[in-house]
Amino acid sequence: MNWRNVILIFQREVLDQLRDRRTLFMVAVLPILLYPLLGIGMVQMTVLFSEQPRSVVILGAADLPALPLVEGRRFASRWFHSSADADKLRVVTDLDDTATTLPPESKEQNAADEQMLANAKQICERIRERRKIETDLDAARAQRQPAETATLETALQNLNTRLTSLFDRSGIQVLIYIPADFARNLAQRQKELAERDVATTVQFDYARPVILQNSADEKSVIAHRRVHDVLQAWERSILKSQLHESQLPETLTEPVMPAEIDLAEQEQVSANVWSKMFPALLVIMALTGAFYPAVDLCAGEKERGTMETLLICPATRTEIVLGKFLTVFVFSASTALLNLLSVGMTGKYMASLAMGGVSSRLGDLALPPVSALIWVIVILLPLATLFSALCLAIATFAKSSKEGQYYLTPLLMVTLGLTMFCLSPATEMQPFYSVMPVIGPGLLLKGLLKANGPGTEMYLYAIPVLLTSIGYSLLALWWAIEQFGSEEVLFREAERFDLRLWIKHLLRDKEPVPTFSEAGFCFLLIMLLQFVSWKSFQTAIQNTAQEDQGLFQIRLLIIQQIALIATPALMMGVILTTSLRRTFSLRWPGFRRLLLAALLPFTLHPLTTELVVSLQWFFPPPPPGMAELMKHLKNANVLLVILAFAVTPAICEEIAFRGFLLAGFRRLGRVGVAVILSSCAFGIIHMIPHQVFNATLLGFVLGAMCVRNRSLFPGIVFHFGYNLLGILHDRFGKFVPTGSAWNFFFRWEDDALRYQPALLCLLSLLCIGLLNRLLQPASIPDLQDTNAPAVDESLPHSDRFQASALHG
Amino acid sequence: MAYWDVGRFDSSLPLMKSSMITVHRLTKRFADLRTGAFTALDRVSFEVQPGEILGLLGPNGAGKTTCLRILSTVLKPTSGSAIVAGYDVATHPEEVRARIGFLSNNTGIYDRMTAGEMVEHFGRLYGIPEAALQERISLLFERLQITKFRDVLGSKMSTGMRQKVSIARTIIHDPPVLIFDEPTSGLDVLVARKVIDEVKTLQDQGKCIIYSTHIMREVEKLCHRIAIIYRGQILAIGSVQELADQYSEPDMEELFFKLIDRHEEGLAANLVS
């Protein structure tokens, strides 16, 4: 590695990018100008923004009690929190003297009001009709007259429909109907209350006002919320005066009325704002900042025809990628920082401007302390590294800038999803999240910027977050370098993609074992099938009777394994490969190896069980459905459970993951990477985090076993044994003696059989011994077998080609 | 050998054979959706000596560019070997790249760099000491008449200007091996003439040159030997005189068509049988 070359390329690319108007715009101009402009825009909007007054019609206004609800054409301003709100509702009443007492308004307005009143009256007619039907309906129901009930129900429904359309067309947002004699009834009640004549039954049962609104209509909802508040204030006032006159304390109706104290200090309020905004902005801007330069540096370079110029210079591909990567990284990091800075400054300035407005409650949005800002930078570095490397790898694949942008959009979507997840107030840092890409850094930053200061545990979380982030970044960078080294990627022809031709090619140019992409596709297919079937399985489970659910779920599991895991892999194997024997490693490994594979679970199962238990703190709790299933497991027929949880998975999962997938992944040329990939795929399919972990671990063992024995069968035997032991452990663990001397090996804890350290040490030794035997490459006569396909793999192209050239 | 660091190159050089480029049964296959595998280069062998220009003559898609891309280590051969300036392209690509100058239609110049910056950048990548580099650049720019547009951005240059800068980029490190892939395509006669003169100058300096083209006149004028390449195979190789004698056809163009026709006939006969 010649760092001088890396630096030379880096310098050139930075200069190149700085001369590119598009990149400069995205990276520097946009953040510096966008947020202040948005700020100005917001100020402008608040100045210019005026809410259209909404129309409220009151029918029967003459019957309103003396306490004035309405003043002229609006509600009395004393019923509003902020008196300015009174202008936002325009009240039209059916009082005769409206015209005389109110300031004259335009003729059209009056005409419109007249129209509205007419509409309101019509609506009220319908309401009365509706009430009558409702009474009849109740009566019919009470007398159990089904025919009558049905007719009335239809009539009611029709009426409702008509009422809705009538209301929608009326131009009224809220309609208040005051029943006749309402004021008189109210006064009567007050009088009776004041006299406190308990003997006379107080007539509380008078007709109440009716309020009509349409909650599907935004305007109506807003108006209704205001009207509701007004009427509540008004009602409270009426109540108070009633209490007063009855010589009761005015606070009678508020026996609790707690005093509320908000302890949030101003810095904390602002810290809260920043702790939400900064992580999201950091993640998204680090990605955006990497996105455009990466496309320009790779796809753009191909497009402009300078890629080959670069490739023929003495720098190695790794040096070129590193130079480009550093460039993308610098732009990603500076975009993110510039954006944060600009947002911070604008936010602070805006908040100080808007004193007295709503945002004054946010206080002066003081920027977070310097220590927090340093954390921002510390976290930004691995994030920018990850995104830069990912964008670079993807952009290398694209042939043109436009294509690059298409490929990068999914990355943006996924990142946005993860960011949204981090932003949710319910999501807090926990061990499992700390090792997830993007989520870890996002949550860490959120925790560090939090109002009440970061807890010590946050600083501890920084270690796994940073370590894993660096790990992911290095992986992504490695991928980018691999991509850049691949001829197919660099010199991809912009050939027209023809599905028919492609399928023909797949079927015609079959190879003995699947290709890497076929294996990858198989995995995606399995995932997709699981996802699609999930819903229908859930519905099916819910549709079965409660007591049968357990059994049903177990059966479903068998079907799922066969139909959704084994079948896709087998089908793809049959259709796309020429040698099922090699694809699925169908080779007799000999009894000795099968026996070793059968013994291995006895040593490995206790070890992994203890490992997972000891790591329980790390994983988020399993979903509730899981516990349910476990309960069923303990009660179901043991043979059925073994069939569902040991036999079927051992066969189906091995066929898919150690068969088709591993064979395809091995085409990468690196057996280790292939085993890791297939284990990760095997883990991911298990969904529940601690099972994912366990399955991935086992995947390593299973993958290595398959590769070394060149046979699927030891894996199947081991897989069966391992799962069987799991079932036996859950079910019959309680029969294992834990008393006296046995206590040296076993103990009973938390309703489960646990293994003592002494036993575990012994088992580890045995396990290493067994693995050592099992993972020895298969013996000499088979060795020729391995060599043969290796030679064959380099040859088939030429042979086939020559054959086809000769025969036509 | 570059004049500024003869020592460095020499110390790392393995035993030099007389030929600068040795290509032996070089084969390259690509995956192709339509036909399965596509053989772009089929067991091609040739040698080029220092001070010699080998002309690669062939129609579009004959495999010229693929062959030259393998020699420049941008592509890896499927089988066969190619030794350039004493190094195998498959095992020592960096050493090979440091010793060749490569110019093709696909080696464009940077739009957002000036002629001076562009050549300077590549000179540094080749590890030329700064003082020597500046001296070399002014020498080359003078010779290629670039000096007057030295500070013009690539995007503002005409095709001819770009090609001149490309040539300067190709020979900035004074490599012993030069590969030109259709260097005159798309150029006006004046610039094309200039390019051909430059190639001649380089040959006079004792460089080993491969010159690929589909223009007969250039080949006749420039090349010591000609390799006629068609469908990934070399149909004939030799000097103009040798070829004319061997196929008793003094006219190069006629000879070219004759060879291709014969090859097609051979293929057709093969298919029938």
Q: pLDDT tens digit string along A653-691?
A: 999 999 999 998 888 778 888 999 999 999 988 878 888
In a domain, A45, yes or no: no
B79, B108, B124 ranked by CB distance to A305: nearest: B108
- For chain A, say whether B104 makes contact (Cβ under 8 Å): yes
Q: Using the structure block, give the residue that is written with the tokens 């005026």.
A: A50
In Å, what is the CA distance from A605 to each residue of A166, A608, A726, A780?
72, 5, 7, 31
- Residue A142 banded pLDDT, cuts 50, 70, 90: confident
Q: Which residue of A has its CA nearest to B98?
A: A314
- Tens digit of each residue's pLDDT (9 = 90 or more) over A485-542: 887 777 766 555 677 777 877 777 788 888 888 888 899 899 888 888 887 888 887 7
What CATH number should be reported for the domain holding residue B265? 3.40.50.300
In a domain, B1, yes or no: no
Q: Same domain, yes or no, for A562 and A692? A: yes
- Classified as helix, coil or strand, A498 is coil
In a domain, A107, yes or no: yes
In a domain, A433, yes or no: no
Are the beta carbons of B19 and B48 closer than 8 angstroms?
yes
C-alpha span between A152 and A295 (Å, rounded): 67
In a domain, A438, yes or no: no
Burial of A65 (0-12, 13-18, 19+ CB in 10 A): middle
Are the beta carbons of B63 and B113 closer than 8 angstroms?
no
- Residue A804 banded pLDDT, cuts 50, 70, 90: very low
Q: Check B94 against A316: CB less than 8 A apart.
A: yes
Dihedral over alpha carbons A155, A161, A167, A170 (to 10 degrees): -100
Residue B36 in this model has a pLDDT that exceeds 50: yes
C-alpha span between B154 and B110 (Å, rounded): 6
Residue A174 in this model has a pLDDT that exceeds 80: yes
Number of separate domains in chain B:
1
State residue A788's pLDDT score. 38
CA angle in degrees (0–180, nearest 5) for A570-A576-A577? 85
Contacts of A312 in chain B (CB under 8 A): 72-74, 97, 100, 102, 107
Residue B4 in this model has a pLDDT that exceeds 60: no
Q: Check B94 against A314: CB less than 8 A apart.
A: yes
Q: Check B37 against A20: CB less than 8 A apart.
A: no
Q: Check A313 against B125: CB less than 8 A apart.
A: yes
CA atoms B13, A321, B27, A510: torsion sign: positive
- Residue A269 banded pLDDT, cuts 50, 70, 90: low
Instruction: With CA atoms as reference, report the closest residue to A184 among A61, A60, A64, A70.
Output: A64
A20, A304, A800 ranked by CB distance to B108: nearest: A304
State residue A326's pLDDT score. 95
Residue A581 in this model has a pLDDT that exceeds 80: yes
Residue B192 in this model has a pLDDT that exceeds 60: yes
Q: Same domain, yes or no, for A232 and A303? A: no
Instruction: With CA atoms as reference, report the closest residue to A119 among A50, A55, A44, A182.
Output: A55
Q: How many helices (H) and strands (E) does chain A have?
A: 34, 8
C-alpha span between A582 and A569 (Å, rounded): 14
Q: Which of A10, A22, A313 to mutate to test the interface with B (most CBs of B within 10 A)?
A: A313
Complex ipTM, two decimals? 0.90
Residue B30 in this model has a pLDDT that exceeds 90: no
C-alpha span between B257 and B248 (Å, rounded): 14
Find the mean pLDDT for residues A708-737: 88
In Å, what is the CA distance from A240 to each residue of A52, A181, A184, A554?
33, 21, 18, 65
Among the residue ranges A259-273, A526-540, A601-615, A673-687, the one predicted with the least confidence is A259-273
State residue A102's pLDDT score. 56
Beta-bridge mates of residue A63: none
Residue A429 in this model has a pLDDT that exceeds 80: yes
Residue A791 in this model has a pLDDT that exceeds 60: no
Find the mean pLDDT for residues A244-263: 82
Q: How many residues would you count in chain A?
A: 808
Average pLDDT, whole number, for chain A?
Answer: 82
- Residue A717 banded pLDDT, cuts 50, 70, 90: very high
Residue B15 in this model has a pLDDT that exceeds 50: no
Residues 6 or more apart whose Cβ sits within 8 Å of residue B97:
A312, A313, A314, B72, B73
- Classified as helix, coil or strand, A496 is coil
Contacts of B117 in chain A (CB under 8 A): 15
Find the mean pLDDT for residues A197-210: 67
A16, A315, A798 ranked by CB distance to B110: nearest: A16
Q: Check B36 against A19: CB less than 8 A apart.
A: no
Residue A132 in this model has a pLDDT that exceeds 50: yes
Q: Same domain, yes or no, for A773 and A787? A: no
Find the mean pLDDT for residues A757-762: 88
Find the mean pLDDT for residues B230-243: 89
Q: Same domain, yes or no, for A759 and A796? A: no
Burial of A351 (0-12, 13-18, 19+ CB in 10 A): buried
Name the domain boundary from A461, A489, A517: A489
State residue B7's pLDDT score. 37
- For chain A, say whether B98 makes contact (Cβ under 8 Å): yes
Contacts of A487 in chain B (CB under 8 A): 75-76
Are the beta carbons of A211 and A227 closer than 8 angstroms?
yes
* The pair of three-digit structure tokens given for residue A34, joined into one six-digit string: 């966008």
Contacts of A804 in chain B (CB under 8 A): 36
Q: Same domain, yes or no, for A589 and A619? A: yes
Q: Which of B33, B68, B178, B263 to mutate to test the interface with A (most CBs of A within 10 A)?
A: B33
- For chain A, say whether B165 makes contact (Cβ under 8 Å): no
- Structural domain including B216 reads 6-272
State residue A805's pLDDT score. 34
* The pair of three-digit structure tokens given for residue A644, joined into one six-digit string: 């569902």
C-alpha span between A497 and B125 (Å, rounded): 38
Residue A77 in this model has a pLDDT that exceeds 80: yes
State residue A668's pLDDT score. 79
Are the beta carbons of A244 and A195 closer than 8 angstroms?
no
Residue A460 in this model has a pLDDT that exceeds 70: yes
Find the mean pLDDT for residues A5-27: 89
C-alpha span between A433 and A435 (Å, rounded): 5
Q: Check A312 against B107: CB less than 8 A apart.
A: yes
In Å, what is the CA distance from A324 to each residue of A295, A310, A385, A583?
11, 11, 12, 39
Find the mean pLDDT for residues A338-357: 75
- Residue A798 banded pLDDT, cuts 50, 70, 90: very low
C-alpha span between A461 and A655 (Å, rounded): 39
Distance from CA of B110 to the nearest CA of A (A): 7
Q: Same domain, yes or no, for A542 and A671? A: yes
Query: What is the percent of chain A with per-residue pLDDT over 90, rounded to a whole number?
Result: 15
In a domain, A439, yes or no: no
Instruction: With CA atoms as reference, report the closest residue to A793 among A668, A707, A676, A709.
Output: A668
Residue A546 in this model has a pLDDT that exceeds 80: no
In a domain, A285, yes or no: yes
Number of separate domains in chain A:
4
In a domain, A257, yes or no: no
State residue B27's pLDDT score. 92
- Structural domain including A214 reads 54-251
Q: Check A797 against B37: CB less than 8 A apart.
A: yes
Residue A253 in this model has a pLDDT that exceeds 60: yes
- Classified as helix, coil or strand, A779 is coil
Find the mean pLDDT for residues A714-737: 88
Q: Check A314 against B98: CB less than 8 A apart.
A: yes
Residue A6 in this model has a pLDDT that exceeds 80: yes
- Tens digit of each residue's pLDDT (9 = 90 or more) over A383-392: 899 999 999 9
- Residue B147 banded pLDDT, cuts 50, 70, 90: very high
State residue B12's pLDDT score. 40
In Å, what is the CA distance from A169 to each residue of A163, A173, A210, A214, B64?
10, 10, 19, 12, 77
- Tens digit of each residue's pLDDT (9 = 90 or more) over A620-634: 777 777 777 777 777
Q: Same domain, yes or no, for A117 and A211? A: yes
Q: Same domain, yes or no, for A175 and A79? A: yes
B33, B117, B270 ranked by CB distance to A502: nearest: B33
Residue A641 in this model has a pLDDT that exceeds 90: no
CA atoms B21, A483, A470, A684: torsion sign: negative
